[in-house]
Chain A
Amino acid sequence: MAFLEIKSLCKSFEAYPVLQDIDLSIEKGEFVVFVGPSGCGKSTLLRMITGLETPTSGTIAIEDTVINDVDPAKRGTAMVFQSYALYPHMTVFENISFGLRMAHQPKALIRERVEKAAAILRLEKLLDRKPGQLSGGQKQRVAIGRAIVREPRVFLFDEPLSNLDAELRVQMRAELLELHERLGTTMIYVTHDQVEAMTLADKMVVMMGGKVQQYGRPLDLYDDPDNKFVAGFVGSPKMNFLSARVVTAGPEGLRVDLAAGGAASVPLAAMLAPGARVDLGLRPEQLSVVAAGQSLPADAVTVTGRVALIEDLGAESYLHLHLADDSRIGVRTVRHAAHLGDEVRVAAPASAVLVFDDAGTRLRGRA
């Protein structure tokens, strides 16, 4: 069994289901990120691992022991709250040592552990301050310190960086990775920000509507998503979806008519009926602007649209194209590639296309 094993976990509040049939296996030492939009159930899942919520059915086990009924303080887990939850009337030292003091540990041990944690987090000079005198980043570190001192088997983070400004967030992310490197402890991290998830995670768990949509390494989720939701959620800017109708489908490949005009051939062997609706997924960086007179390989997928918006970011630019079927796509390109209002043609290699059926499921199979 894996280090942390979640089997068939379900949670409902009164009659309202919040989590349905969650199965996850997390290995020791992994940095796993639960990511998804608000309300997808990721925080509830985290809270069930800590013990602040109880499952309606299913089990959670750490190191082969089921912990459903174990007291939250005795599970070997430690949590860092989104709001830090620092005790405002206690000093940093007292905050960090709170758990140890409640367990009546000897003073020498407490001092040693707190100083060790403070050294790791560069808090040594702040031990006598109160939370009201600390900056956001410092408070964050105290909250982490409180968790470290418990020497847990699993660290749990509940959107800890969402209260910090953008620059600080980037810095703290780097510090968290360093921390993980140093301590080697299993870490479970919840966020709604998929960029954060991509940068931090060894493995990502994308959640939506109380279910796990996909679980794997970030780049795998990026390159090979299981469904339209994951494809659109992971990666910024978002993947483009071109609506199309099947003309022919079979072991030799798929031919479709694009709603935005034109046809396309994709090397995908799939069982689809003619006329069925599908979505073709292409990332902005896979599309390039076709210059006038440029020749294209035969299997290129192309589409034409009018430039509705140009975002110049310095090193690159994004064109937002308005297509014939009233949909929009984004194209990554260089500066001055086009002007507002231009009719522009873009193309991508057919092999880069991901195909999703009408229900959003990813269709796989090389033709």
Chain B
Amino acid sequence: MRHTRHHLPHFLMILPFLLLFGAFFLYPILSGFYYSFHDWNGVREPVYVGLENYTKLLGSRDFSRAMWNLFQYIAITVPLGLTVAFGLALLVDSFTGRWANFFRNAYFLPVVLPAFLAATIWRWIYAPNFGLLNMMLGWIGAEPVSFLNDTDTMLYALIAVDVWVSAGFNMVIILAGLKNIPADLYEAARLDGASKLQQVIHITLPMLAPVMFFVLTYSVISAMQVFDKPWLLTGSSFSEYGGRRGALLFPVMDMMGRAFGGVQFGLASAYGFLLTLAIILVTALLYALRSWSNRR
């Protein structure tokens, strides 16, 4: 290339980043792909097994359980979380000055906490005998509930924690989107006789659509990778994880468990790729939905 010397400084500057990116992102993806077709326990040589890892997983009971839990989890937590975040954003937007800042910060606080902390707090809230919720149930004379151990309630307990943490995060993004809507659109609507509800439906929501789409996609992608909260809430370890009868077993947790508990790295890599495939499919679906609704 004639201009090599020209471009050399540029490449030198991006070299550190590229090296690290190549080493710790590109290489792992490729090697993960390679290992997913092998049986490997980290000690002896990897043995080529073709698609066996994938078929084993797809037929495994735990895999189905994890996927089913994931589906239920996302189906509830994403819409619920977004609705709460949207409501909070509208609420905070209606205040001004110091109070607006106070409420915004208060609602954002759970996001700031490290995950292990949020888990600790909620394990106390959910504790069977002296936890806050059961104490409150006691005041109204209801039976105590073992939120984190009763397979009927565990998923919902997890969802509550997730909404408590994520609502503030999404709220902040939605709030920025709200502030981008020009005030005189609301004034014109008010003069046109639109009620507050009509203003939200006809102005706020349509103009917020791109932001909501971003938040939706981001929420779904991160929900599909849920790990920290169920792991900590059930006090899991690599030998025993997922809570009672696997009620809080999720794909990433299962993958990690097989990797570091069962020491089956090939299987775990295959798991990772299956999950990635699912994520890509869902994201593509969301984008397709969006183009379809834009064309309408």
Q: Which residues of A pack against B, CB within 8 Å?
A: 50-52, 72-74, 77-79, 81, 83, 85, 87-90, 98-99, 102-103, 146, 150
Contact = CB atoms under 8 A, between A and B. Distances in A.
A74 B207 contact: no
B281 interface: no
Contact of A89 (B182, B193, B194, B207): B207
Contacts of A85: 182, 184-185, 187-188
B187 A150 contact: no
A79 B188 contact: yes
B187 A102 contact: no
B206 interface: yes
Interface in B177-219: 182, 184-185, 187-195, 198, 202-203, 206-207, 209
Contact of B185 (A72, A77, A87, A102): A87
B130 to A, nearest CB: 51
Contact of A102 (B182, B184, B198, B209): B198
A50 B206 CA distance: 26
A244 to B, nearest CB: 48
Contact of B191 (A52, A87, A90): A52
Contacts of A78: 191
Given A85-B182, A98-B202, A73 B188 contact: no
Contacts, number: 56
A143 to B, nearest CB: 8
Contacts of B188: 79, 81, 85, 146
A138 B142 CA distance: 65
16 contacts: A73-B190, A73-B192, A79-B188, A85-B184, A85-B185, A85-B187, A87-B189, A87-B202, A87-B206, A89-B207, A90-B206, A98-B192, A99-B194, A102-B193, A102-B195, A150-B192
Contacts of B198: 102
B194 A102 contact: yes
Q: Which 10 A-B pairs have the closest CB atoms?
A: A99-B192, A73-B193, A85-B188, A85-B184, A102-B194, A89-B206, A102-B198, A98-B192, A102-B193, A81-B184
Contacts of B185: 85, 87
A76 B190 CA distance: 13
Interface string B22-54: 000000000000000000000000000000000
Nearest to B203: A87
A72 B209 CA distance: 29
A14 to B, nearest CB: 13
A102 B207 contact: no
Contacts of A51: 191
Contact of A146 (B192, B203, B206): B192
A88 B198 CA distance: 16
Given A81-B184, A85-B185, A85-B187, A102 B206 contact: no
